[in-house]
Amino acid sequence: MFNFFSDIVSNPVLVSAVKFLYKYIYIWFPIISILIIWELWVRYVQALFFAKQKYILLEIKLPREIFKSPQAAEFFIAGLYSTLGEANWYEKYWKGQVRVWHSLEITSIGGAVHFHIWTRVGEKAKIEANLYSQYPGIEIFEVPDYTLPINYDPEKYSIFATEFDLTGKDYMPIKTYVDYGLDKDPEEEYKIDPITPLIEAMGALPRGHQAWLQILIRAHKAEDKDPLTGKVIDLKWKKGAEKEISEIQAKAKGEKGEDGKIPPGSNRNLTLSETDMIKAIERSVSKNGFDAGIRMLYIAEMDLYNPSNIGGLVGGVMHFNSSLNGFKPARGSAPKYKFFALAWKDRSSKTINQEKEDLLDKYKKRAYFHSPLKSPHFVLNTEELATLFHFPGGVSMTPTFTRIESRKGEAPANLPV
């Protein structure tokens, strides 16, 4: 140990660095202090803003049959797009306001599958109006939060918890309902609904098991900084897509020679795969984008917990993967790709338990986009979100799927008054 510190002290580079920092401490120390104080101030005013908000959990109960395409869900989700709330410096840094976010949730409580939407109280009327306009036969109820009875107790519950990342760039599309032809409203018996494997995996869980899927969304807007100019641009979405398309087209034109010119004859036509990729990217960014985060938990008491259920649940999310983009487990109680494993050899059980507790806490608070419970998010467009969260029709007839038992009928007009 003594030799280690002796080597550090005798290192001329480190000695010079320490002298430099000491000499200019009057410059860098105030700057760092201001940055730290600013970060603490932003967190403080945001915490005050969050404390003043009231939130509700809505449950959507479905009729026995739904003959709507997932495009109806896309119209609904498009109606949630709003960047209001942080339009100027005063709103954002003095009042601590942030643009509204929502949580779209699919849950299984003992095999009974539910659709929930968590949101601010002030958003309830807009959500109900948008849903009823697309799905006239549904019923919407304000319900207690199903997460509250579950507290982290590793001696009572076994928990699998993970968040998902994209396998590719944000502007690259996953496989959507349009790719399955569901935008054309095919006959019910010919439908191939990509959400069905997830619903069936959730509906197959026995009593005492719970599975929660949470898709948190907020309107996406440009927040990246141009490394050259410092201006705010959108590298994750439209600007990133433009750059990708330009690189594909430039590759077809050929590489420049030493004279800076493209040699004659090196220019070629775009290949079919390159053309398809450009079309897919252009279609993806032509629709509104949402910042999104996806989180999943599987919970059961110690004596009931069955790790074999995890594969179907996580596979239900990865079922939307395309050759261009998809989802992969990234953070939580499982390794990045081997999601069926329960522990990593190079990590202690204490670390894993802490990650499970943190993700359970984040889920219950519906936190994803803001410090101190922030997680890395990505961008999905309305089409992709509607593929992940829509109400399946007759193709999903899970016995325990929570539906309205009978249709409501209007009273006869000739009833005596």
Q: pLDDT digit string (tens) for 341-380?
A: 443 444 556 687 888 999 999 999 999 999 889 999 999 9
> Position 386: which residue type?
A
Q: pLDDT digit string (tens) for 228-266?
A: 777 888 888 999 999 999 999 888 776 666 666 666 656
Question: Of 316, 311, 360, whose CA–CA distance to 339 is shortest?
Answer: 311
The three-state secondary structure class of 358 is: helix
| C-alpha to C-alpha distance for 85 and 355, rounded to whole angstroms | 32
Burial class of residue 331, CB neighbours in 10 A (0-12, 13-18, 19+): middle
For residues 95-120, b (16+ Cβ closer than 10 Å) or e, as one string? ebbbbbbbbbbbbbbebbbbbbbbbe
Question: Of 375, 378, 385, 381, whose CA–CA distance to 162 is shortest?
Answer: 375
CA 381 to chain centre: 11
Helices then strands (H, E): number in the chain? 12, 11
| C-alpha to C-alpha distance for 140 and 128, rounded to whole angstroms | 7
pTM of structure: 0.85
The three-state secondary structure class of 232 is: strand
pLDDT in 10s for each residue of the chain, 417 residues: 555 556 555 667 777 888 888 888 888 889 999 999 998 998 899 889 988 999 999 999 988 777 788 999 999 999 999 998 887 888 888 999 999 999 999 999 999 999 999 999 999 999 999 999 999 989 999 999 999 999 999 899 999 999 999 999 999 999 999 998 888 766 655 567 889 999 999 999 999 999 999 999 999 998 877 777 778 888 889 999 999 999 998 887 766 666 666 666 567 788 899 999 999 999 999 999 999 999 999 999 999 999 999 999 999 999 899 999 999 998 876 544 344 344 344 455 668 788 899 999 999 999 999 988 999 999 999 999 999 999 987 545 555 556 555 444 444 455 444
Q: Among the residues of 79-134, which ranges form H helices?
A: 89, 124-134
Give the start-to-end residue ranges of the domains of the chain.
55-217+288-388, 225-276
Paired sense of beta strands 209-219 and 101-109, if any:
antiparallel
3-state secondary structure 134-190: HCCCCEEEECCCCCCCCCCCCCCEEEEEEEEEECCCCCCCCCCCCCCCHHHCCCHHH
Residue 345 makes CB contacts below 8 A (sequence gap 6+) with none
Q: What are phi and psi of 68, to 5 degrees?
A: -95, 140
Query: Residue written as tokens 């979405």?
Result: 237
| C-alpha to C-alpha distance for 40 and 47, rounded to whole angstroms | 10
The CATH class for the domain spanning 55-217+288-388 reads: alpha beta
How many residues comprise the chain? Answer: 417
Q: What are phi and psi of 109, to 5 degrees?
A: -110, 100
